[in-house]
Structure 1
Amino acid sequence: MAVTNNIMVGCINFTAMLLSIPIIGSGIWLSSQPDNLCVKILQWPLIIMGLVVLVLSLAGAVAGFWRIRWLLIFYLVAMLALIVLLACFVAMVYWVTLKGSGHPEPSRTFLEYRLDDYSGWLRRWVQSYRKWDGIRSCLRSSSMCGGLNQNYRLAQDFFNAHITPLQSGCCKPPTECGHTFVNPTYWISPKDMAADMDCLRWSNDQTQLCYSCDSCKAGLLANLYKEWRRVDIILGITLVALIAVYLAGCCAFRRAKTPHLSRKYKQGSS
C-alpha cells in the first residue's frame, strides 16, 4: 500500500512539474514579442509563477516519498495559494482584454485602432507620460516600421497589406487624416487637414512618425490584446489541470494519513 501511494504521489507531482512548462513557456513567448518586450507587464510574473510551481512540485515529491508530514502540509497550503493567485491572474487578464477591436476603413485591408475602445486600466497605463516615454523609445529602436518600406513600394500594395495593429497605429498617419502616400512611412499632408490631434502629431521624421499618437497607443493595446488572450487561454487550461492535480494530491495525502491513524487507534485499543 505504501509503495502504491508513493508511486501515486510521484506521478501527481511529476504532472504538476509538467504543468509549470506552459506557464514558464507563456512568459518566455511574451518576452520574445517586440511589444511585450517594451511593455514588460506579464512575462516576469508568469515566469516566476511557473518556477514556483516547479519548486513546489519537487517539494511535494520529496515530502511524499520520505513521508515528511510538515513539508507535505506546506506543499498543499502553498500550492492552494498559488492556484488562487493563478486564478486571479487569469481573471485579470480576461477582464482587461474584454474590450478592444479594430475599425475598417474604405479601400484598406488593415484596420485602424482607437484608444477609447480598450480597457480603462490599460488606457490609463499607456497614457501615463513616464511609462509611454520609455515604451516609445523602445518601439523606435525596433525595425517594425523600417521593414514596411522594403515590403511595400506601391500605394495599393500597402493598402491591401495585412500589417500588425502596432504598425497601423505607429508607422503611418490615421487614414481619416487624408495624407497622400509616398511610401509606408512618408506621407504628404493635405492642405485642409482634420483637427484631430493624431493628424497634427504625425511627422515624416523617421524617428518620430506617429509614436506620440493615441493611435500608436491603441495599436500597442491591440497587439497586447491578441497576445494576452492567447496566453490567457493556455493559462486557463493549465489552471484547470493544476486544480485536478491538486485535488488528486489531497486525496493521496488523505490515503497516506488514514492507515497511520488506523494503526494508532488499534495500538491505543490494545
Structure 2
Amino acid sequence: MVSKTELLFLFQLNNTHNWKRLKSCLVKSEDCNNLSKRYKTLKQYKSAKLTPIEAGCCRPPSECGYPAVNASYYDLSFHPISSNKDCKHYKNSRAVKCYNCDSCKAGVAQYMKTEWRVVAIFNLVLFVVLSLIYFVGCCARRNAARSGSLPKF
C-alpha cells in the first residue's frame, strides 16, 4: 500500500523540471562510474549488494537481458528481450546510463524514503532529549524559587 506522501513524492519525481535537476546531481555524483573501480571483476559486481540508486540508475533492468562486460559497461548489441521501455533508455554513456529510466526514479524514491526515515528518527530523539532538558530546567527553577535562592527583581 502506497501512502499519500509517497504518491506525492513520486509525482514530484515525474515532474520533468524536478527530475532534470535531480538527474544532474546523480550524473555529477559519479556513483555509476565508480562501480568499475569498486568491483574489479564481473563476479564481484554480480554478487555485490547495490544501493537502490546504483541498481536502478547504473545498469539496465535485468529483464532486458543485456550481458554485463564489467561493472559500468553492458553489451547493447543484443536486442532487449523485454518490452520494458527502460531497456531502450539505457546507454553506456556516463551522462546517460539509465538516468531517464523509471527504475532510476524508483531507486531514488527508495533511497530518499530510507534517508528520510533516518532523519525522522534523529529528529524524534533530539526532540525527546531537548524536552527532558527543558523539563529538568523548569523543575530546577521551580525548586530554586521555593527555597528562595532566586534573586527578586
- Which whole-Å CA distance do the structure 2 matches of 1:130 and 1:158 have between them? 33
1:182 paired to 2:77: no
Number of residue pairs aligned between Structure 1 and Structure 2: 146
> Under a length normalisation based on structure 1, what TM-score does the superposition of the two structures give?
0.48
Match of 1:248 among 136, 141, 145: 136
Code of the aligned partner of 1:196: N
Q: Equivalent residues in 2 for 1:39-50 (5 A)?
A: none
1:197 paired to 2:85: yes
Q: CA deviation at 1:239?
A: 1.3
Where structure 2 has 5 or more consecutive residues not aligned to the other structure, the ranges are 149-153
- Which whole-Å CA distance do the structure 1 matches of 2:16 and 2:146 have between them? 60
Q: CA deviation at 1:184?
A: 2.1
The question of whether the paired residues in 1 share the 8 Å contact of 2:64 and 2:80 is answered with no
Root mean square deviation of aligned Cα:
2.6
Percent sequence identity over matched residues?
33
Question: 2:46: which partner in 1?
Answer: 159
Question: 2:151: which partner in 1?
Answer: none
Q: Equivalent residues in 2 for 1:70-219 (5 A)?
A: 119-189=6-76, 190-219=78-107
Segment of structure 1 superposing worse, 214-223 or 247-256: 247-256
Helix, strand or coil for the counterpart of 2:34? helix
> Under a length normalisation based on structure 2, what TM-score does the superposition of the two structures give?
0.79
Question: 1:238: which partner in 2?
Answer: 126
Deviations 1:167-208 (A, max 9, x none): 111111011111111122221233243111211211122210
Where structure 1 has 5 or more consecutive residues not aligned to the other structure, the ranges are 1-97, 100-117, 261-270
Q: Equivalent residues in 2 for 1:27-42 (5 A)?
A: none
Helix, strand or coil for the counterpart of 2:97? coil
Question: Could you say which structure has the larger radius of gyration?
Answer: 1
